[in-house]
Structure 1
């Protein structure tokens, strides 16, 4: 009987000797810690420990288990979680030992966007167009110069009077000054829209930058989750050999591994899409993907509602442009009111009278009488536009208030989530991981428990990254006065209408 037991023990030891020798192989990637990220000092790990009851096996079986345990020794060291004083995020791929690695910062991308984004060219073109209209509207009418002949054919001559004339319209009522002031105001609106477009471009670049940075960090977290799942599968295989789990448990660990691999593929695809959107917003779609340098974590003080609301109403380019439109329409009303004042038409004739052999000249002057057309209809239209513009200011204030309330709600929620992750959830998850690891070293916890604690810690880090991204997007939106649409054509300073549909702007 003893001989049979000894043979069984020998066979079992031979079978186990072919197993992989370390449930911590997945942590090899964690060992290459980056600058600014603490890591554990290298420790000689104890053998893998299983919690077994004394009466689980017979004495020979216990000896087999202890022998197998000694064979499953670790060749690598366990990287402990990040120190509380440092970032709770895992090291980003751009954090390398030397700082000569290539990468892009937010400031660099902003400069590139301001140089390459086509909507900024469009916004500047609208400023130039409105400025051209302002210049044109204030120009004096050109004189008319012509040839004049009178009584052609008398006595077979070419005419009794041969000469020329000059005709000039003299504009009255300050029409030209008002017209130029009106279109200069349109140029100011275009300039405000141009400034708003700069904000839109920069806000969108910042949002896409942080989306790409978050996707970049999520890929790293997913890679570590895959490594964790691989170790979990290997651990279940070893436990199955020891009789400490069953086939369904092993199959479930393999399913979890495949799910994590799919999550990693999704994260990599998300990163690729985020990069393409970023370089498109910058205006350089041909730019090859590289590492981004930056941090997702808040660097500014928390905004309060009153200051955010006051800042928006005082500085929103959309509201500034709306008030400038009111001023423009007020000038338009004045311009149309002086339109019926008749301009003076002066005509000067000069030439030679061949009948009397004298040089002669003549002057005629006239004014159009505003009897039938006193421009009252256009004045009414200008007044209606002015009333609409004044109401539009109030409408825009209310619309921005609603948008800000929605964004601030999200901002406040995201801020609260970040604080909870930073102050409680991540530190506690880290503490659980550390305590279980210490217990594992002291042979008081099993390796699957350590793996589960590590997985929970990594899952919380992924959620933390999502919360940071959501916070960044709302923070940029509020501080950027709710301006987005960096690839949308900037609005025209004025809408077309009857008043402005004449050959010469007025």
Structure 2
């Protein structure tokens, strides 16, 4: 029989061996990346440290280990690491069907109907220019005089030719006027190409951003599901109340609604994109491209100078001024009378001779000197000259608004890229590391992950706003890729005559 001293020694040895085994179990679990499982009847203790890392240690070990994957399941860090999400500058383009911006632009140039309309206006103006310079047709006819006299076929039987000779260089001026309208129509066609390409690019980046936002919202939904499961376990252990669980459920529903909205946004943007391209039958696919903006940005003076020097709207306005100047000259020579010549020839049965005759006439501009039309042409010329100035001021005002948006977007992009995203990542990494060291609760890690994902979503929107404003500035503020192209020149009385002049 064992005496009392030996019994006490044996019990102490058993306690020491059990303590060593529990400590070893914890160390192995930490080394292989598993969450340590508390030993039976192990008492929760508050760990207090005096070093600089004590800021995460105001939590019990039980709270630190509360996650939805507690039961001896390895929790890979990568599953919750936002850095392994598709970065905002990259697009998910693993599918072989991914389509690029260049391909969409080529499709738009071949299928957008407004380009056909603008090209038709060019051809119509060319036809009018050709028609305006054509000489009047001669008139050929049959002539007879005194038919039936004394039972004869008439005194004279023959034919006549009548021709109008245009004077004052009217035809040359008319053709020059309409040729200038051809130039206006060509400028409008060029502007319409820019409008279409600008809108295709804008809708491409909107669709690309919607595609990436959907991926981020999917990760936020996973975060909300994990948060709800964590609160359920905390409620079971008495570490939260029903209010906290209900709030986690609300957060999950909010994340689900946001993901549904992101899906709807992607569908809408894709429909807008294929409509702009002119191929509504194109199936929804992944876009291949980047949202990351360049490092160099516009300044106000260079943007304004480029706009005023190269804007098709201003070029077309100056061409309309030249068109109206030619119109004034054309209307001023309109009163110069054209010469009308008639030549007739035939046989005189009374004298039995072949005869011919010539008549020459011209209208005398006594009452109608075309003075009213000249006044109208001068008024149109003054209006066109004022329109150039109006366009310059309007473009400057529109550029001012767009440049403000551009500057704001650039500032946001730089701040998110250089400051907020790196710090959000660092905060997440620190909390995740502290959690693995059992010095931070899992809800704090989820909150850091949620903040970082929201920063990514905000960064995507900032990049989108940058591209929208940058395309507007570099694209001469031209938008409306599905709007009917404007007419080269407005209609009026001068252009309402049967023959262009």
TM-score range for the pair, normalised by the shorter chain length: 0.7 to 0.9
The aligned counterpart of 2:46 is 53
| Superposed counterparts of 1:305-324, under 5 Å | 305-324=300-319
Deviations 1:335-364 (A, max 9, x none): 001001110000101111112221111111
The answer to whether residue 369 in structure 2 is matched with residue 374 in structure 1 is yes
The aligned counterpart of 2:283 is 288
Deviations 1:65-114 (A, max 9, x none): 9999995344231124539xx985386433x3xxx521111111111111
Structure-2 separation of matches of 1:68 and 1:115: 59
- Decide which of 97, 105, 127 is 1:110's aligned counterpart: 105
Structure-2 separation of matches of 1:72 and 1:445: 19
Contact 1:81 1:434 in 2 (8 A): no
Contact 1:348 1:361 in 2 (8 A): yes
- Following TM superposition, by how much is the alpha carbon of 1:300 offset from its aligned partner in structure 2, in angstroms? 6.2
Contact 1:88 1:422 in 2 (8 A): no
The aligned counterpart of 2:74 is 75
Gaps of 5+ in 1: 1-41, 56-61
Distance 1:128 1:309, change over 3 A: same
The answer to whether residue 428 in structure 2 is matched with residue 433 in structure 1 is yes
The answer to whether residue 490 in structure 2 is matched with residue 495 in structure 1 is yes
3-state secondary structure, aligned to 2:350 = coil
Distance 1:204 1:403, change over 3 A: same
Deviates more, 1:188-197 or 1:349-358: 349-358
Structure-2 separation of matches of 1:51 and 1:427: 36
Distance 1:66 1:139, change over 3 A: closer
Contact 2:472 2:478 in 1 (8 A): yes
- Following TM superposition, by how much is the alpha carbon of 1:51 offset from its aligned partner in structure 2, in angstroms? 8.9
Contact 2:143 2:157 in 1 (8 A): yes
| Superposed counterparts of 1:355-394, under 5 Å | 355-394=350-389
Structure-2 separation of matches of 1:46 and 1:217: 32
- Following TM superposition, by how much is the alpha carbon of 1:52 offset from its aligned partner in structure 2, in angstroms? 5.2
3-state secondary structure, aligned to 1:302 = coil
The answer to whether residue 33 in structure 2 is matched with residue 44 in structure 1 is yes
The Cα RMSD (Å) is 2.4
3-state secondary structure, aligned to 2:495 = coil
The answer to whether residue 233 in structure 2 is matched with residue 234 in structure 1 is no
| Superposed counterparts of 1:69-468, under 5 Å | 72-79=71-78, 80-82=81-83, 89=88, 92-94=91-93, 96=94, 101-299=96-294, 301-468=296-463
Contact 2:413 2:459 in 1 (8 A): yes
TM-score normalised by the chain length of structure 1: 0.85
3-state secondary structure, aligned to 1:250 = helix
3-state secondary structure, aligned to 1:243 = coil
Gaps of 5+ in 2: 1-30, 49-59
Structure-2 separation of matches of 1:66 and 1:138: 91
3-state secondary structure, aligned to 2:344 = strand
Structure-2 separation of matches of 1:90 and 1:379: 61
3-state secondary structure, aligned to 2:175 = helix
Deviations 1:376-431 (A, max 9, x none): 11101100000000000000100000000000000000100110000100000000
Deviates more, 1:403-412 or 1:354-363: 354-363
- Following TM superposition, by how much is the alpha carbon of 1:48 offset from its aligned partner in structure 2, in angstroms? 8.0
- Following TM superposition, by how much is the alpha carbon of 1:232 offset from its aligned partner in structure 2, in angstroms? 0.7
Distance 1:48 1:201, change over 3 A: farther
The aligned counterpart of 1:484 is 479
Distance 1:400 1:366, change over 3 A: same
Task: Pick the structure with greater CA Rg.
Answer: 2
3-state secondary structure, aligned to 1:82 = helix
Structure-1 separation of matches of 2:89 and 2:312: 39
- Following TM superposition, by how much is the alpha carbon of 1:127 offset from its aligned partner in structure 2, in angstroms? 0.7
3-state secondary structure, aligned to 2:359 = strand
Structure-2 separation of matches of 1:218 and 1:48: 37
Structure-2 separation of matches of 1:214 and 1:68: 36
Structure-1 separation of matches of 2:453 and 2:190: 42
TM-score normalised by the chain length of structure 2: 0.86
- Following TM superposition, by how much is the alpha carbon of 1:150 offset from its aligned partner in structure 2, in angstroms? 1.5
